[in-house]
A and B are shown apart, each in its own frame.
Chain A
Amino acid sequence: MDWLEDELRRALARQDPPDGFAERVLARSARGASGARRWLAAAAMVVVAAGAGGAWRQHQGNEAKQEVMLALRLASAPVHRIQSEVRGMTQ
Chain B
Amino acid sequence: MKSLLVACLAALPLLAAPQQFHLNLDSVAAKASEHVDVSLNASTLQFAAKFLDASDPDEAKVKKLIAGIEGIYVRHFEFKSAGAWSQADLEPIRAQLRGPEWSKIVGVTSSEDGENAEVWLRTAGNKSVGVAIIATEPKEMTVVNIAGTIDLEALSELGGHFGVPKVKPPDKPQKEE
- Is there an interface contact between B40 and A86, defined as CB atoms closer than 8 Å? no
Q: Is B44 an interface residue (CB 8 A)?
A: yes
Interface window among A1-9, A18-26, A35-43, A66-74: A66-74
Residues of the B chain whose Cβ atoms lie less than 8 Å from the Cβ of A85:
108, 110, 167, 169-170, 174, 176
Q: Is A10 an interface residue (CB 8 A)?
A: no
- Is there an interface contact between A68 and B66, defined as CB atoms closer than 8 Å? yes
Interface of B (DSSP majority class): mixed
Q: Is A17 an interface residue (CB 8 A)?
A: no
Q: Is B117 an interface residue (CB 8 A)?
A: yes
Q: Is B57 an interface residue (CB 8 A)?
A: no
Contact of B115 among A67, A72, A81 (CB under 8 A): A81
- Is there an interface contact between A68 and B135, defined as CB atoms closer than 8 Å? no
- Is there an interface contact between B159 and A80, defined as CB atoms closer than 8 Å? yes
Residues of the B chain whose Cβ atoms lie less than 8 Å from the Cβ of A34:
none
> Considering the chains assembled together, what is the distance between the CA atoms of A78 and B169 in angstroms?
13
Residues of the B chain whose Cβ atoms lie less than 8 Å from the Cβ of A79:
117, 119, 133, 152, 155-156, 159
> Considering the chains assembled together, what is the distance between the CA atoms of A19 and B85 in angstroms?
91
Which range holds the interface residue count of chain B? 35 or more
Contact of B142 among A60, A69, A74, A82 (CB under 8 A): A74
> Considering the chains assembled together, what is the distance between the CA atoms of A87 and B106 in angstroms?
12
Contact with A along B151-177 (1 / 0, CB 8 A): 011011111111110111111011010
Question: Can you identify 24 A-B contacts, CB atoms within 8 angstroms?
Answer: A64-B48, A68-B40, A68-B45, A68-B72, A69-B62, A70-B74, A71-B74, A72-B158, A73-B162, A74-B36, A75-B142, A78-B119, A78-B133, A79-B117, A79-B156, A80-B156, A81-B159, A82-B119, A85-B110, A85-B170, A85-B176, A88-B171, A89-B173, A89-B176
